[in-house]
Amino acid sequence: MKNIFVFIGMCLLFCLTGCEAEYEPLTENIYIAEAENVNFKRLTVDDKGGSTSFSVRMSSPATTQVTATVGSDLSVLEEYNKLNGTNYLPLPEHLYSFSEEEVIIESGKLSSSPIQVNIKPYDETVNEADKYAIPVSLFSANGTSILNASSHLVILLDKVIVTNVLTNASF
């Protein structure tokens, strides 16, 4: 019995000493700040539309000026729907706009100025029964690498439902 424990101990020791971690620390990666913990954000849209914002951020201060490109990416929404069992549709592109699609992070800084997403009031191209979303992605960055896990954000749009209320009811 003692030999079995010695054998198991030797095997365990061999396995543990045979592993060498070859990880390098993540430095100067760029990502969407709001996607750091979760890759979605909710926004309520009413009859006047709506707006929200997000920022592009560095994992450590930029050593040189970094330029990144953001935009809408349908594959991000497809992946979100698949992972969450949802059926969000992409909001038609004529109903929203980004304040800018190219952001700059200056040398020594951690973050870009916020990118505003403006949503216009829904029109006849939108079915009131469907749920819509805006999939945002970091497409490119010069001067650094993109942190893939936080490189996309899905803005989930919740439409305000307006109903008539009975005003002269006496109960």
pLDDT digit string, tens, across residues 35-91: 988 999 999 998 899 999 999 999 888 888 999 999 999 999 999 999 999 999 999
Structure confidence at residue 159 (pLDDT) = 85
Compute the distance between CA of residue 128 and CA of residue 163 in angstroms, rounded to an integer. 13
pLDDT of 160 reads: 76
pTM listed for this prediction: 0.78
Of 157, 143, 90, 154, residue with least CA distance to 112: 143
3-class SS of residue 41: strand
Lowest mean pLDDT among 13-22, 61-70, 140-149: 13-22
pLDDT value of position 166: 59
pLDDT cut 70: percent of the chain above it: 78
Place of tokens 């992605």: 137
Tokens 């992409």 correspond to what residue? 90
Give the pLDDT score at 97.
95
The answer to whether the CB of 41 falls within 8 A of the CB of 155 is yes
* Chain mean pLDDT for the chain: 85
Alpha helices of the chain — where are they, by DSSP H? 2-17, 74-84
Q: Is the pLDDT of residue 148 over 60?
A: yes
pLDDT of residue 2: 58
Residue 168 pLDDT > 70, yes or no? no
The reported pLDDT for the residue numbered 14 is: 61
